[in-house]
Amino acid sequence: MNAKEYLKPRLVGERFEGAAIPLEVLRDIAVLEEMIVEVAKWVFKQEHPDRQRVPRGFTDGIELRLDGIEEGSAIPRIVLILATTSGCLPGLAENEQCFDLAKDRLVSAVAAAEDGGDVTDHLPPECLTYFDRVGRSLRSGEHIEFDRANQQPPARLTRESRRKLVLASRVREFTDEIIVRGSIPEADKADMTFELDIINGPKIVGPIPDQHMDVIVEAFVGYQEGKRVMVQGVGRYSRQNRLTGIDSIEHITVLDPLDVPARLDEFRPLRRGWLDGVGIPPPQEGLDWLTMQFTASYPEDAALPYAYPTEDGGILMEWSLGGVEASLDIDLVKRTGFWHLFDTVTDQTDAREFDLEDPAAWAEIGKMIRELGGGQG
């Protein structure tokens, strides 16, 4: 067998530092092989317009393989394996050339999506459908870079450019990873489906996987008591970017009644004047930031607060711990928090300001809550 370097997509983002690739992202990389094979077949038919289909055994003797991970963010090194016993594989050299052209077409389409060009100048709609699975695991601020020839800047696949590529395929729906919170008013064991009523969102239907049935049934039974769940998985979206259903579920968790991200979702519909004619609504991007920061940095073993919107567009978190009242008044624009504590027994107070962009600040807040007796489990 003969191996040659074929493709080295560079994964850029915090998750990829130290040449680390999350397993969910490897699924995207694996789809590249399936996509490239189909693009190579399309290239062959473009080169041979007189033929209706590719030759039998078109991919015999050719294989794409992950050969290693290079550092510099994380760079999966994909090689093209070629059979050296070419006597029984006629046309191998031409087929290899089709694979090389397929790579070029793929990279050109990604570049066109980012630059505002017409991606169908580079790939047909039927090949673009593969982008529904390639890049689906990318998060905000992450991208995949593909090197281009002639020292041109790399082509970048982002969440935004991926969506352009998928929509150019003329699909009726596309999929994307979701994290949504809501309640379950209906569950149908016969059809093995359930309805999720998303907080301030649509009602959508999803499958009931066997491994998650107990959690779904628990949430369904507790619907009247306000029990909620968080669903992580893959959702289906219309071309208008409206969530229409759940394609698959990876994790589903019953939420604590004080779950802060769920509470923040309740504030999203607030409009100016929401408080008796006054009141500034919290900014959506600020709620997104606080959801991410609280989830990532607030210690899991510290008691959860009650969360409320404030008149000036911020968020107030309050803890009532025996004879101690603690609060954190959060400015969603400055991303700071003013901490105040009052001991109703000793009349002692404590006040300080935290930079809530710093994970250490959340750790310190959690430590103080635990020391006041607000620990979980």
> How far is the first Cα of the chain from the last one, in angstroms, to the nearest whole number?
57
> What six digits make up the tokens of 317?
């978190």
Burial class (CB in 10 A: 0-12, 13-18, 19+), 371: exposed
- Residues 191, 162, single domain; the answer is no
Residue-range definition of the domain harbouring residue 201? 176-254
Euclidean distance between CA atoms 63 and 27, whole angstroms? 17
pLDDT for residue 87 is more than 60: no
- Residues 167, 181, single domain; the answer is no
376 within a domain of the structure (yes/no):
no
- Residues 124, 206, single domain; the answer is no
Question: How confident is the model over 228-253, as pLDDT tens digits?
Answer: 999 999 999 999 999 999 999 999 99
| Sequence-distant contacts of 53-61: CB under 8 A, at least 24 apart | 55/91, 57/89, 58/95, 59/95, 60/89, 61/86, 61/89, 61/92, 61/95
DSSP secondary-structure letter at 185? E
78 within a domain of the structure (yes/no):
yes
Cβ-contact 233, 178 below 8 angstroms = yes
DSSP secondary-structure letter at 230? E
Answer with the one of 198, 227, 254 that is the final residue of a domain.
254
Cβ-contact 193, 206 below 8 angstroms = yes
- Residues 115, 163, single domain; the answer is yes
Residue 332 identity: L
Cβ-contact 207, 246 below 8 angstroms = yes
Residue 132 identity: D
Answer with the one of 254, 273, 292 that is the final residue of a domain.
254
Euclidean distance between CA atoms 372 and 125, whole angstroms? 60
Mean pLDDT of the chain: 93
- Residues 103, 199, single domain; the answer is no
377 within a domain of the structure (yes/no):
no
pLDDT (0 to 100) of residue 72: 76
Euclidean distance between CA atoms 165 and 36, whole angstroms? 15
| H or E element, residue 226 | none
Question: How confident is the model over 287-341, as pLDDT tens digits?
Answer: 999 999 999 999 999 999 999 999 999 999 999 998 899 999 999 999 999 999 9
pLDDT (0 to 100) of residue 18: 83
pLDDT for residue 89 is more than 50: no
CATH number for position 238: 2.40.50.140
- Residues 313, 239, single domain; the answer is no
116 within a domain of the structure (yes/no):
yes
Euclidean distance between CA atoms 271 and 244, whole angstroms? 25
- Residues 110, 250, single domain; the answer is no
Euclidean distance between CA atoms 121 and 128, whole angstroms? 11
248 within a domain of the structure (yes/no):
yes
Collapsing DSSP to helix, strand or coil, 290 comes out as helix
Euclidean distance between CA atoms 247 and 205, whole angstroms? 9
- Residues 152, 34, single domain; the answer is yes
Residue 269 identity: P
- Residues 54, 158, single domain; the answer is yes
- Residues 24, 159, single domain; the answer is yes
Count how many domains the chain has: 3
69 within a domain of the structure (yes/no):
yes
Sign of the torsion formed by the C-alpha atoms of 335, 361, 269 and 275? negative
92 within a domain of the structure (yes/no):
yes
pTM for the model: 0.86
Cβ-contact 284, 348 below 8 angstroms = no
Burial class (CB in 10 A: 0-12, 13-18, 19+), 41: buried
- Residues 243, 296, single domain; the answer is no
- Residues 95, 165, single domain; the answer is yes
Cβ-contact 140, 9 below 8 angstroms = no
